[in-house]
Amino acid sequence: RKFTDIVGSAYYVAPEVLKRKSGPESDVWSIGVIMYILLCGRRPFWDKTEDGIFKEVLRNKPDFRRKPWPSISNSAKDFVRKLLVKDPLVRLTAAQALSRMKQFALRALASTLNDDELANLRDQFDAIDVDKSGTISLEEMRQALAKDLPWKLKDSRVMEIVEA
């Protein structure tokens, strides 16, 4: 569903909102603005007036050259860039953004583990990933849980575990 009203704070407004053709994709843009601010402490688009901010949003790209961007990881910069793509059809979807965030979180967790702990996790993953696809399917998770549990889990409960 597309919306035609301009609502929200000027700093977080997506280009399509200004063109009165916004949908759920505009929320992803706003998340990109928030991520940009969290990582560098500045807004990606700035001007003294609301009108000026709107023009910046429509015409310019965020600056990733000024400090502290050179010291920020390429994957973080790439993520923010993909959240701030002006074309909502090319921009990451909310599901894609969430998936990327989960990957970042897993990498952060993995970086706290020592080599033995990582090897143990890899062995456990490999034992569940029967088809060696690099991902664990719902069926593989169901089979792994069935081996370790004395009772049969309902499919809905397996899904709850997978989605947790």
31 is written with which tokens? 């998340």
User: Is 102 in the same domain as 121?
Assistant: no
**Is the residue at 141 inside a domain?**
yes
Q: What is the pLDDT of residues 75-111, one digit of tens each?
A: 999 999 999 999 999 999 999 999 999 888 888 888 8
How confident is the model at residue 150, as a pLDDT? 64
User: Is 80 in the same domain as 141?
Assistant: no
User: Is 28 in the same domain as 75?
Assistant: yes
Instruction: Report how many helices (DSSP H) and strands (DSSP E) the chain contains, helices first.
Output: 8, 0
How confident is the model at residue 141, as a pLDDT? 86
Indicate which CATH number applies to the domain containing 63: 1.10.510.10
Among the listed residues 41, 95, 111, 47, the one whose alpha carbon sits nearest the alpha carbon of residue 69: 41
User: Is 18 in the same domain as 93?
Assistant: yes
**Is the residue at 143 inside a domain?**
yes
pTM of the predicted model as reported, rounded to 2 decimal places = 0.71
Q: What is the pLDDT of residues 11-67, one digit of tens each?
A: 999 999 998 888 889 999 999 999 999 999 999 999 999 999 999 999 999 999 999
**Is the residue at 3 inside a domain?**
no
